[in-house]
C-alpha cells in the first residue's frame, strides 16, 4: 500500500491498538508525541515532537501524509479538579487547532482528518435512543468538551480537508480502560452495580473500534458517526455478565450515588450517565461489527 498516516495520541489505549493495525495493513505511521523520550524512528514507524500548548510541531511529521487519525487528549478518567477540566478541554481543542494551522500555513497535502470524539455529547437520558443528528442544548462539562472538540474540525472543511468525527462509547479492552477496573472488584467478591444500575452504557470492543477507524479511512467516509456496538446494555447487566463469566456471585447492593460522589467527585458522570446510542449509521455505510452483543465481547476479553 505504502500510504503514510499521521497519528496523534498514538500511545493511548486506542492509539496503540490502531498503530498495530495500521502497521499490519502495510501503512507507514508517523506519530506525534509531547514526550521526546517516546520518539522512535523505524522504517515504517516514526515519531515526531509536538507541544500543542506551546504551539510547537515538527513539520516533518506531515511529509507524504494524506490522512491524520487524531486521538490526542488527556484522560477523562481523573478527578475533575479545575486544572484537570482545563486540561481535558484544551488538550483536545489545541491539538486540532495546531494541526489545522500547520496544514493551512504550509499548504500541506492532507486530505482527510479522522478524529476521535465521544458519546458524552448526548445528554443523560434513560429513555432516549441517540442518533448522530440529535441536537440538544445541555451545558454539562462533558457536552461542552465534545462540542468544542468537534467544533475544531470545522475550519479544516473550509480549506478543503474532509473531516470525520467518531463518537466513541465505552471502549472494552482486556488490559486498559474501564473493563479491568470493573473486573477487579467482582473478582474479589466486591463487585456491585453503580448507582441505580439502570443507566444505559454504550460500549464497543477495542477490535471493532480499530476496524471502524480503518473502515472510515479506507471508505473515505466523512461526517459524524457513533462508534458503539449495536446493543447497548444497562449497567446492572454489564456487571452481571462479568460476574457470570468470572463465576463470581454478586453479593453486594448497588453502590449508591452519594458514595460515588465521595469517591469520584464530578467524574462520577462517567459511571452514572445514561446514553443509549444507535449504531445504524455506520452499519448502513457497510461496516460489520464482530461483536454485536456484550456477552461474546466480554468472553473474548476476559478469557
Please report the DSSP string for 83-96 in residue order: HHHHHHHHHHHHHH
Close Cβ partners of 248 (under 8 Å, ≥ 6 residues apart) = 186, 187, 189, 191
The pLDDT tens digits of the residues spanning 66-100 come to: 999 999 999 888 889 999 999 999 999 999 999 99
How far from each other are the two terminal CA atoms of the chain, in whole angstroms? 34
Predicted pLDDT at 1: 42
The pLDDT tens digits of the residues spanning 286-300 come to: 999 999 999 999 999
Tell which residue, 298, 280, 114, has the closest CA to residue 204.
298
The pLDDT tens digits of the residues spanning 262-292 come to: 888 888 888 889 999 999 999 999 999 999 9
Check if the beta carbon of residue 230 is closer than 8 Å to that of residue 279: yes
Average pLDDT over residues 47-54: 96
pTM of the full structure? 0.95
The pLDDT tens digits of the residues spanning 145-155 come to: 999 999 999 99
What nine digits make up the cell of 120? 458524552
Specify the CATH number of the domain 4-169+204-228+277-284.
Answer: 3.40.50.720
CA dihedral for 79, 82, 87, 90, sign (positive or negative): positive
Amino acid at each position: 500500500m505504502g500510504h503514510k498516516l499521521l497519528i496523534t495520541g498514538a500511545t493511548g489505549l486506542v492509539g496503540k491498538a490502531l498503530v498495530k493495525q495500521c502497521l499490519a495493513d502495510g501503512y507507514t505511521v508517523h506519530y506525534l508525541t509531547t514526550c521526546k523520550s517516546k520518539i522512535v524512528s523505524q522504517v515504517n514507524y516514526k515519531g515526531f515532537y509536538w507541544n500543542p500548548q506551546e504551539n510547537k510541531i515538527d513539520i516533518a511529521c506531515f511529509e507524504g501524509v494524506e490522512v491524520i487519525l487524531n486521538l490526542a487528549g488527556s484522560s477523562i478518567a481523573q478527578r475533575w479538579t479545575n486544572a484537570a477540566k482545563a486540561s481535558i478541554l484544551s488538550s483536545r481543542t489545541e491539538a486540532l487547532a495546531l494541526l489545522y494551522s500547520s496544514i493551512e500555513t504550509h499548504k500541506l497535502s492532507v486530505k482527510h482528518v479522522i478524529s476521535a470524539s465521544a458519546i458524552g455529547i448526548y445528554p443523560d437520558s434513560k429513555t432516549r435512543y441517540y442518533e448522530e443528528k440529535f441536537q440538544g442544548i445541555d451545558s454539562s462539562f462533558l457536552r461542552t468538551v465534545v462540542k468544542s472538540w468537534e467544533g475544531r474540525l470545522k475550519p479544516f472543511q473550509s480549506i478543503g480537508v474532509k473531516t470525520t468525527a467518531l463518537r466513541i462509547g465505552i471502549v472494552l479492552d482486556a488490559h486498559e480502560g474501564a473493563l479491568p477496573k470493573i473486573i477487579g472488584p467482582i473478582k474479589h467478591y466486591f463487585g456491585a452495580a453503580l448507582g441505580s444500575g439502570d443507566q444505559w452504557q454504550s460500549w464497543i470492543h477495542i477490535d471493532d473500534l480499530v476496524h471502524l477507524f480503518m473502515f472510515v479511512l479506507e471508505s473515505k467516509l466523512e461526517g459524524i458517526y457513533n462508534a458503539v456496538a449495536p446493543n447497548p446494555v444497562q449497567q446492572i447487566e454489564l456487571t452481571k455478565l462479568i460476574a457470570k463469566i468470572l463465576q463470581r456471585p454478586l453479593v453486594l447492593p448497588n453502590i449508591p450515588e452519594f458514595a460515588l460522589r465521595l469517591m469520584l467527585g464530578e467524574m462520577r458522570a462517567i459511571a452514572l450517565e445514561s446514553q443509549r446510542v444507535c449504531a445504524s449509521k455506520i452499519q448502513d455505510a457497510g461496516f460489520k461489527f464482530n461483536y454485536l452483543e456484550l456477552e461474546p465481547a466480554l468472553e473474548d476479553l476476559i478469557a
